[in-house]
Amino acid sequence: MNFWLFKSEPDVFSFADLKSRPHRREPWSGVRNYQARNFMRDSMLPGDLGLFYHSSCPQPGVAGILRIASEPKPDPSQFIPSDEYFDPKASPDRPIWQLVDVAWAADLPQFVSLENLRAAPALADMQILRRGNRLSITPVTPDEFHHICSLGGLSPKAIAALS
């Protein structure tokens, strides 16, 4: 199993929004960065777990836990001219951008703020904490994932039940 961090602006789509969707599930559309796409295409598997991170907001940080709920597939928004994520270089025959469905997996009893993340020595190497990091999807190590779940107030038992 692999572990991931998904960034989203909560004004646009928050962890609470995911939880309120039918089946608590949503296609993660709009990724337009090759590295992030390649993670989805090459390394992500249904059942993998992810941290739902709120960015560009008053309180950045990890708001909850999600699970990868589909194989990667073409992101339909790339084909729709009126869509803000339209890509004229893409066609249904030759899609460029992929998405995966994600589903709610668990609430965190406590929000894990960016400040909390920075204060944890065990998380010092996280990609999200590096200067200039702009990737909307990044891998995290199993240790980092478990550490953040623990900071979020999940018991070891609850964390184990996720995997």
Residues in 14-43 at the binding interface with DNA, rule: CB under 7 A: 33-35
CB 22 → DNA: shortest distance, Å?
26
Q: What is the CA radius of gyration of the chain?
A: 16
- Asked if residue 133 binds DNA (CB under 7 A), the reply is yes
**Count of residues engaged in binding DNA, rule: CB under 7 A:** 18
Element (H, E) at 34: helix 34-38
Q: Which of 20, 43, 127, 130 binds DNA (CB under 7 A)?
A: 130
Three-state DSSP state, 11: coil
114 binds DNA (CB under 7 A): yes
Do the beta carbons of residue 39 and residue 137 sit within 8 Å?
yes
Site for DNA in 57-96 (CB under 7 A): 57, 60
First to last CA, the chain: 8
Does 9 engage in binding with DNA (CB under 7 A)? yes
Q: Where along the sequence are the contacts to DNA (CB under 7 A)?
A: 7, 9, 33-35, 55-57, 60, 114-115, 130-136
